[in-house]
Structure 1
Amino acid sequence: MAKRKMVITKDLHKDLIDQIKQVVPDWDIIAGKDKEIWGPHVNEAEVTLGYKLELEDFSNLKWTQSTSAGINHFPTEQFKSNGILLTSANGVHAYPISETIFAYMLGLTRKIHTYVKNQQEKVWHHSNMKLEMHEKTIGIIGVGAIGKETAKIAKAFGMKVLGVRHSGQPVENVDEMVTPDRLDDLLPKCDYVVVTLPLTDETYQLFTARQFTLMKSSAFFINIGRGKLVKEEDLISALQSGEIAGAGLDVFEKEPLGEDHPLWEMDNVIVTPHTAGSTEYYDKRVVEDIFIPNLKAYLEGQKPYINLVDYSKGY
């Protein structure tokens, strides 16, 4: 009888591979980032772990564990029609992304990005720095794991925290929670607008000229969700006209950001190359906190229960 097969499309540390092997000692495990390693086996795999997956035959696959929070790069329609389960890596990013969010917020508020440029040019200049972050209002658009951690840290700065959540259910450290249909009511109250949403049909270009018009001219916009949550030309216009004060952006409509893109040259923008979630503990958290508990449930005939994607919602 052929062994059950697992394909891992990543170069995981040996210790993590060994932990997986302890759970499925009788399985054939193929692991490696290069397609030459996993490509010949992927159509025979029952379970896969990784970011990329190129399948010709969907008949053998039962479950895929994504190593990213987003699932847009997976063939979800084929997964749905073939009854293939998909789990995401939501929760892995809460610490590094919340740290990045506050790096943007502090950097823009205290003009750290401006001073770094001045340092490179050996310019001693005040640069009209005057803002404080303490006791301001932050709006967190998408209060999942990242949003909850962001809200907790915001409270250390004495901030008022407003949140948008699909269910509208209250969450610790969020002073006021609303449903997405009330987003426009929330925006005028915020000094910082932080977007942590996944990309779905409902959230595509959620932020357009209308939303930026509703924001305070002194407000900063932070996007670490997905670039297509924002109509980028409207954001650029709002930044150029002074409709909003500035932005911290990790994601863009098209990546990598083109060399001639206007966002590169804006003094009121901090650009990072889709690295907000990068951390030394990434693989360890995916494997130990999500994949192995899900794998144990799967072996017992249950559905993986951590971050199981609802195809009807898109996350």
Structure 2
Amino acid sequence: MYKIVFNIPSHVTFSQQKIEAMLDPEKFEKVLFVNKPEQLEEVIEDTDVLVTYPCEASIIRKGKNLKWLQAITVGVDAFPIKELHEKGVIITNGKGVHRIHMAEYAIASMIMMARNIHSMIRNQMSSTWDRQIEQNEIFGATVGILGLGSIGQEIAKKASLMGMRVIGIKNNPEEIPYVDNTFGMTEIEALLKESDYVINLLPETVKTRKIINAKNLSVMKKNACLINMGRGGTIDEEALIKALKERWIRGFVADVFEEEPLPQSSPLWKLENVVITPHICGESTKYMEKLMPILQNNLKVFQGGNGNMMNVVDLEKGY
């Protein structure tokens, strides 16, 4: 008999009844729902299955019986991978859950920067009426997508249907619907040179850490905008601040940062060509509803031993 724990933050909407209906009472003896680290720490010792947001390594070390961890998130770099790997825990993630709402964030960010809505909001705060603010459009512009996974492909689809030219980066370049040209990871400079908007969706790995550096920022178009929805560590923040101050690029929209919360001392807060959101582009009121098919499939496989789990994380790659 197994014990399963759902560590789901209190602000996330979900149906406890729907979750419990997925569980075979002959396989699961206990089902617990917690929403605080201290609560999780109290019950982790004899937990077999954990469905959770990122948690501390100290908690995982106490999980003597842990066999499978279903991450609610897509990225697992915030999880104690080393400890999970040492225990032989299967890790699955929420890949695919974010596809629609994160693509909408990307499209909204490009339109906002094209119409300079961020500048008009600042003017509103100071009661300033300025009709000289430039109004552009994304139709006909080129968007470069760093990472053509499920989210990147959904952005490509939406951007293409809105009249944009779409190019992108993929580990193994191949023909992808709605993408006009696909580059390999070693061709990032070529993509940056062509793009009016660059959307970064890359995970943080040994290969991608600070991949957007001073050299790459310097080849971008002067009117280009960078949108970071991947991981903060993939951008050299010091070089980025210099690029923004000296107008190597036109603007920056970011939902993720190397240090979070972004320190109040960061120059990014004060720059007029920067829009900051607090790591929320992956959030949605429909989040758990979207996760349910993945969870249902993986629970079925875990309970019955037949079939394949969805979204098993490759610990060597980190995603």
**TM-score band, normalised by shorter chain:** over 0.9
Q: Secondary structure at the match of 2:198?
A: strand
Q: Which shifted more, 176-185 or 20-29?
A: 20-29
Shift, 1:114, TM fit: 0.9
The AA in structure 2 aligned to 1:4 is Y
Instruction: Provide the rounded CA distance (Å) in 1 between the counterparts of 2:156 and 2:134.
Output: 25
Give the aligned residue type for 2:223. S
- The answer on whether the counterparts of 2:14 and 2:289 sit within 8 Å (CA) in structure 1 is no
1:84-108 Cα distance to aligned partner (Å, 9 max, x none): 1001112111112111112211111
Report the CA distance shift for 1:240/1:75 in structure 2 as closer, same or farther (over 3 A): same
- Describe the superposition over 1:220-275 as per-residue Cα deviations: whole angstroms up to 9, x where unpaired: 10001010010001111111111111011111111111222211111111111111
- Structure 2: give runs of 5+ residues left out of the alignment: none
Q: Which moved more, 1:233-242 or 1:169-178?
A: 169-178
Name which of structure 1's ranges 111-120 and 234-243 shifts more when overlaid on structure 2.
Answer: 111-120
**Displacement, 1:77?**
1.8
TM-fit CA distance, 1:22: 3.6
1:115 is displaced (CA, Å) by: 0.9
Q: Offset of 1:214 from its aligned partner?
A: 1.0
Quick one: distance in 2 between partners of 1:302 and 1:71? 25
Residue of structure 2 equivalent to 1:243: 248
Structure 1 residues 205-244: aligned runs within 5 Å: 205-244=210-249
Change (3 A) 1:303 1:87: farther
1:174 maps to which residue? 179
Compare 173-182 and 123-132 and name the one that shifted more: 123-132
Q: 8 Å contact 2:67–2:90 — kept in the other structure?
A: yes
Cα distance in structure 2, aligned partners of 1:163 and 1:203? 15
Separation of aligned partners in 2, 1:131 and 1:13: 38
C-alpha distance in structure 2 between counterparts of 1:233 and 1:31, whole Å: 41
Aligned length: 312
Question: What's the secondary structure of 2:167's corresponding residue?
Answer: strand
Superposed, which structure 2 residues align to 1:47-58 within 5 Å? 47-53=49-55, 54-58=59-63
CA distance in 2, matches of 1:158, 1:246: 21
Q: Pick from 188, 199, 210: which aligns with 1:194? A: 199
Counterpart code for 1:187: L
Give the one of 57, 66, 69 matched to 1:64. 69
Divergent runs of 4+, >4 A: 11-14
Please give the alpha-carbon distance, in whole angstroms, between the structure 1 residues aligned to 2:49 and 2:214: 43
Secondary structure (helix, strand or coil) at the match of 2:100 reads helix
How many angstroms apart in 2 are the aligned matches of 1:240 and 1:289? 45
Deviations 1:125-177 (A, max 9, x none): 02431422111110000011110110011012211100101121221111111
CA distance in 2, matches of 1:18, 1:104: 35
Partner of residue 6, structure 1: 4
Q: Report the alpha carbon displacement of residue 8 of structure 1 after superposing the two structures with TM.
A: 1.0
The residue number in structure 1 matching 2:34 is 32
One-letter code aligned to 1:34: K
**Secondary structure, counterpart of 2:60 in structure 1:** coil
**Residue 219 of structure 1 contacts residue 245 of structure 1 at CA under 8 Å; is this kept in 2?**
yes
AA in 2 matched with 1:23: L
TM-score, normalised on structure 1? Answer: 0.94
SS at match of 1:306: coil
- Taking a change above 3 Å as real, the CA distance of residues 163 and 14 of structure 1, as seen in their structure-2 partners, is closer
Q: Report what 1:15 is aligned to.
A: 15
- Whether the aligned pair in 2 keeps the contact of 1:9 and 1:52 (CA below 8 Å) is no
Q: Structure 2: how far apart are the matches of 1:153 and 1:233? A: 32
After superposition, the Cα gap between the structure-2 partners of 1:35 and 1:131, relative to the gap in structure 1 and judged at 3 Å, is closer
* CA contact 1:118–1:124 (8 Å) conserved in 2: yes
Instruction: State the percentage of identical aligned residues.
Output: 32
Cα distance in 1, alignment partners of residues 150 and 45 from structure 2:
33
Shift of 1:36: 4.5
Aligned pairs for 1:1-315 (under 5 A) are: 3-10=1-8, 11=10, 15-26=15-26, 27=28, 28-53=30-55, 54-286=59-291, 288-302=292-306, 305-315=309-319
Would the aligned equivalents of 1:108 and 1:268 in 2 still touch at CA under 8 Å? no
* Residues 13 and 151 of structure 1, relative CA distance in 2, 3 Å threshold: closer
Amino acid of the structure 1 residue aligned with 2:47: A
2:224 & 2:231 partners in 1: Cα distance? 20
Q: How big is the shift at 1:44?
A: 0.9
More off after superposition, 293-302 vs 197-206: 293-302
TM-score, normalization by structure 2:
0.93
Query: RMSD in angstroms over aligned alpha carbons?
Result: 1.7
